[in-house]
């Protein structure tokens, strides 16, 4: 006996709405928190009307929430490291000349390991943002073709 996955029959309007749900996450580049606001608005308006839109709305929101969590973890690693290294290395020879701060003998020696960890966290953040951009575009393309797409590295906050 053959088992097949159930197909969700969607029309062009549902595909467009679901595609726009993914693409609305890119609004973060123009509007603060747009990557949460617009997918939530679209998803809540159409989740009862279309199982296809419901699936993609959940995927978009779960992906954005997962990225927020990953970003917070990276920030909790990088920011304290950089602050600790800078504060530890501000020498007594800090002077004010004509409203400019001049720091003499600033030294990172002995902190290379910590700085490497902090720099790695910052680099991972930038890689995460680039990957996010391309995954959102890829998800939109898959969705516009009528496929059920699931983002990688996503924690299912909304089930």
Give how many domains the chain has, as a whole number. Answer: 1
Q: Is the pTM of this model over 0.95?
A: no
Two tokens at 7?
Answer: 């197909």
Q: Is the pLDDT at 3 greater than 60, yes or no? A: no
Q: Is residue 156 part of a domain?
A: no
Nearest Cα to Cα of residue 36 among 26, 46, 45:
26
In which element (H, E) is residue 43 found? helix 34-46
pLDDT value, residue 90: 64
Q: Is residue 57 part of a domain?
A: yes
Domain that holds residue 79: 12-144
Please write down the HEC assignment for all residues of 76-129: HHHHHHHHHHHHHHCCCCEEEECCEEEECCCCCCCCHHHHHHHHHHHHHHHHHH
Q: How confident is the model at residue 1 (pLDDT cuts 50, 70, 90)?
A: very low
Q: Is residue 154 part of a domain?
A: no
Burial 13-26 (b: 16+ CB within 10 A, else e): ebbebbbbbbbbbb
Q: What is the sign, positive or negative, of the torsion defined by CA atoms of 7, 12, 17, 23?
A: positive
pLDDT value, residue 99: 65
Q: Is residue 4 part of a domain?
A: no
């Amino acid at each position: 006996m053959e088992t097949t996955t159930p197909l969700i029959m969607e029309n062009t309007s549902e595909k467009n709405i679901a595609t726009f749900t993914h693409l609305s996450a890119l609004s973060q580049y123009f509007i603060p928190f747009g990557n949460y606001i617009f997918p939530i608005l679209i998803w809540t308006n159409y989740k009862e009307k279309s199982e296809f839109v419901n699936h993609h709305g959940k995927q978009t929101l779960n992906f954005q929430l997962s990225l927020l969590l990953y970003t917070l973890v990276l920030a909790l690693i990088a920011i304290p490291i950089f602050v600790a290294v800078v504060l530890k290395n501000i020498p007594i020879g800090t002077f004010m000349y004509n409203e400019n701060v001049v720091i003499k003998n600033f030294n990172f020696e002995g902190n290379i390991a910590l700085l490497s960890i902090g720099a790695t966290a910052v680099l991972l953040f930038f890689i995460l943002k680039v990957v996010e951009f391309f995954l959102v575009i890829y998800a939109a393309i898959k969705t516009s073709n009528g496929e059920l797409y699931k983002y990688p590295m996503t924690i299912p906050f909304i089930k």
